[in-house]
Amino acid sequence: MLVGRGLLPQLGDLLQVEANAGPRESRYLMVDRGVDDVVALSHGAVAEAGLRSSGTLVVDRFRAGEHEKGLAVVQAGWDRMLASGLDRTSRVVAVGGGIACDVAGFIAATWMRGVKLTLVPTTLLAMVDAALGGKTGINRPLPDGGLGKNLVGAFWPADLVICDTDTLATLPDRELRAGLAECIKHGLIEGEETLASLESELDGVLSRDPEVLPAFVARSAGVKAEVVRRDFRESGERALLNLGHTYAHAMESRSSLGLLHGEAVGIGLVAAAAASVAAGMASPALVERVRRLVDRCGLPVALPGVTEVVLTEMRRAMTLDKKVAGGVLRLVLMRGVGAVEVVSDPGSEVVDAGWAAVRTEG
């Protein structure tokens, strides 16, 4: 993983130096168009120019949204790769946010049983989370009309992740703030020193200080990278990275709520803290600290206007979460900052305490 400023214009050279890519390597470049096509017109264009000196270059500019993150875009990618003659020696390169990284990763994992993958995340959330760890996936519809997050996927790590923090200058404010939820999660997992660094640097990040962003991104991404290094297949410790996500994915299954992933994670962290108190693991002060920090990032701390029907649907969605094993829900809870653990079958009262802490009735 490379983190720094001015890296994107060097993409072609970095592939050769850092990923041992051949000068005539064929590539399938997937570019997330972004809001008002800003990613495609700016960052995607720079990436394309940097790859033109290689062999065959196939460029796919697509609209990356949760409902587009499905089998149709994957099949379209396979078709374009087939028509262009891209074989097992080719490489998939993704430029964009977390959805672009997930989709491109899944295509790379499945094309001819796996081809090389390079990710160039252009959102904060993708830099510190989605582009790291080798998880790829697409969504599938649920029987009740909801959306199942990443129900189909594979482990397929990128051989190179390039985080050019200059690309964050074009990121909408809402998207930048959404990425901070994953950074908070990493601080809660890693401990007081990391969380305190986040708190002290937060104003600089929100103002997009170019001198603050590289170290901030590298620190948060480093937490996830180290956990993944120790437990790539999520057989143990890596499950801690799901802190707040069981609640968040249930919220995201209701697209009518209109939440970005990071916004749902922020609310999910508050819910997980409240559930930890209900489980007798943490003090109420933890809930208030998490809530204040999420709020300081400009993220929602509660779900507005949720009816009992919607709440029931979200509870049901939790049972389809990938953290369920043998029909038993596993919830990531906290004893405190730096003391996070997986609790198997926490009980409905604990789960509901989390929902109660973030729900306003509709």
Decide if pLDDT at 189 tops 60: yes
The 91-96 sheet, strands edge to edge: 2-4, 160-164, 116-121, 91-96, 27-32, 57-62
Same domain, 156 and 263: no
Same domain, 78 and 227: no
In the block, tokens 């295509």 appear at 107
**Model pTM score:** 0.92
Catalytic residues: 113, 135, 182, 224, 234, 238, 242, 245, 249, 261
Single out the residue in 151, 170, 189 at which a domain terminates: 170
Give Cβ neighbours of residue 152 (< 8 Å, ≥ 6 apart).
Answer: 71, 106, 137, 138, 140
Same domain, 234 and 300: yes
Instruction: Give the tens place of pLDDT for each residue, 279-297.
Output: 999 999 999 999 999 999 9
Single out the residue in 170, 190, 212 at which a domain terminates: 170
pLDDT at 361: 56
Q: Please give the tally of structural domains in the chain.
A: 2
Q: Domain with 140 in it: what CATH number?
A: 3.40.50.1970
Same domain, 141 and 284: no
pLDDT at 235: 83
Instruction: Give the tens place of pLDDT for each residue, 311-351.
Output: 999 999 998 776 676 678 999 999 999 999 999 999 999 99
Same domain, 9 and 58: yes
Q: Retrieve residue 140's tokens.
A: 């599938």
pLDDT at 54: 79
Same domain, 197 and 256: yes
Q: Domain with 357 in it: what CATH number?
A: 1.20.1090.10
Single out the residue in 108, 138, 170 at which a domain terminates: 170
| Number of neighbours of residue 25 by Cβ within 10 angstroms | 20
Among 142-146, 345-349, 358-362, the range of highest mean pLDDT: 345-349
Same domain, 127 and 264: no
- Full domain range(s) for residue 119: 2-170
Instruction: Give the tens place of pLDDT for each residue, 85-128.
Output: 999 999 999 999 999 999 999 999 999 999 999 999 999 999 99
Q: Confidence band (pLDDT; 50, 70, 90) for 53?
A: confident
Decide if pLDDT at 362 tops 60: no
Same domain, 197 and 334: yes
Contact (CB, 8 A) for 323 and 253: no
